């Protein structure tokens, strides 16, 4: 029997638990570094990482687009952030890796529920140099390094057993030595052209502040947006 909306949980009026961090503390951090959105983001990221109730503060939604114009998104982990942009690593032949190399325009979104904050980025992703990818790969746990060799990420898998066999093969191949970075594994850095800061309001009159710049070396301009 086909389910209808009336059979589903009452999501429209579900509400949400108020478990946010101390509002005054978040408001104070939200107001800092307004002249530099990247510095502002790094300050808020530090706050998110210090909040015990905020799980995975470096988790971010990455949205890409394919040749057919259809978008796709997934969660990845931020591994570096500075004035150059935001960096993450992946299999270059994965779904997102292929899309980013063909269509570098992408978007990132952080949602920190415990702080009642969202920060959104739009920009172009460029592949990081091999030396930078090598340096990060060397810091990964050995099991993760071996997994990178075993998995042809996003490609069809015949069976779980086949994946475990590939992992065993990689384990034997690199037994007694450092695991090098696979050629198909690397990183991307999103260089933002747009950054939006969102602060929740109980009456849904959320604070939204959007920054834009026309070029990497251009000045940021900020405007307020209606919630």
The reply to whether 63 and 163 lie within a common domain is no
For tokens 């978040």, the residue is: 26
The reply to whether 170 and 59 lie within a common domain is no
Each residue's pLDDT, cut to its tens digit, for the chain (227 residues) gives 455 545 555 666 555 555 567 899 999 999 999 999 999 999 999 999 999 999 999 999 999 999 999 999 999 999 999 999 999 999 999 999 999 999 999 999 999 999 999 999 999 999 999 999 999 999 999 999 999 999 999 999 999 999 999 999 999 999 999 999 999 999 999 999 999 999 999 999 999 999 999 999 999 999 999 99
How distant, in Å, are the alpha carbons of 152, 153, 155, 191, 214 from that of 161?
Answer: 14, 15, 15, 39, 50
Give catalytic residues, as residue numbers: 204
Q: What is the pLDDT of residue 12?
A: 60
- 83 lies in some domain: yes
Q: What is the pLDDT of residue 20?
A: 62
CATH number, position 206:
2.30.110.10
Q: What is the pLDDT of residue 21?
A: 72
- 13 lies in some domain: no
- Its domain, for residue 169, covers 139-180
The reply to whether 155 and 120 lie within a common domain is no
The reply to whether 162 and 75 lie within a common domain is no
The reply to whether 46 and 149 lie within a common domain is no
pLDDT in tens, 39-68: 999 999 999 999 999 999 999 999 999 999
Q: How many structural domains is the chain composed of? A: 2
Q: What are phi and psi for residue 92, nearest 5 degrees?
A: -70, -20
- 12 lies in some domain: no
- 209 lies in some domain: yes
The reply to whether 67 and 172 lie within a common domain is no
What is the CB-side half-sphere exposure of residue 144 using CA atoms within 13 A? Answer: 10
The reply to whether 144 and 112 lie within a common domain is no
Nearest-angstrom CA–CA distance, 31 and 40: 8
Q: What is the pLDDT of residue 22?
A: 86
The reply to whether 39 and 125 lie within a common domain is yes
- 148 lies in some domain: yes
The reply to whether 153 and 132 lie within a common domain is no
- 2 lies in some domain: no
Q: Say what the alpha-carbon torsion angle 107, 111, 112, 118 is, to the nearest 10 degrees.
A: 70
Q: What is the pLDDT of residue 156?
A: 93
- 48 lies in some domain: yes
The reply to whether 96 and 176 lie within a common domain is no
- 129 lies in some domain: yes
The reply to whether 170 and 205 lie within a common domain is no
């Amino acid at each position: 029997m086909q389910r209808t909306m009336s059979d589903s949980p009452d999501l429209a009026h579900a509400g949400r638990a108020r478990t946010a961090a101390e509002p005054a503390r978040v408001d104070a951090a939200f107001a800092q570094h307004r002249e530099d959105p990247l510095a502002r983001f790094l300050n808020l990221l530090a706050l998110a990482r210090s909040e015990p109730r905020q799980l995975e503060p470096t988790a971010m939604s990455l949205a890409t687009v394919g040749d057919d114009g259809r978008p796709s998104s997934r969660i990845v982990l931020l591994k570096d952030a500075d004035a150059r942009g935001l960096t993450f690593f992946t299999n270059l032949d994965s779904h997102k890796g292929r899309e980013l190399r063909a269509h570098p325009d992408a978007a990132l979104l952080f949602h920190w529920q415990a702080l009642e904050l969202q920060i959104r980025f739009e920009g172009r992703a460029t592949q990081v140099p091999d030396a930078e990818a090598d340096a990060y790969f060397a810091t990964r746990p050995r099991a993760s390094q071996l997994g990178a060799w075993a998995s042809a990420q996003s490609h069809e898998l015949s069976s779980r057993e086949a994946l475990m066999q590939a992992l065993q093969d990689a384990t034997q191949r690199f037994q007694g030595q450092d695991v090098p970075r696979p050629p198909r594994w690397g990183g991307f850095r999103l260089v933002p052209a747009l950054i939006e800061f969102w602060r929740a309001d109980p009456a849904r009159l959320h604070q939204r502040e959007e920054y834009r710049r026309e070029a990497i070396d251009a000045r940021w301009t900020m405007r307020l947006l209606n919630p």
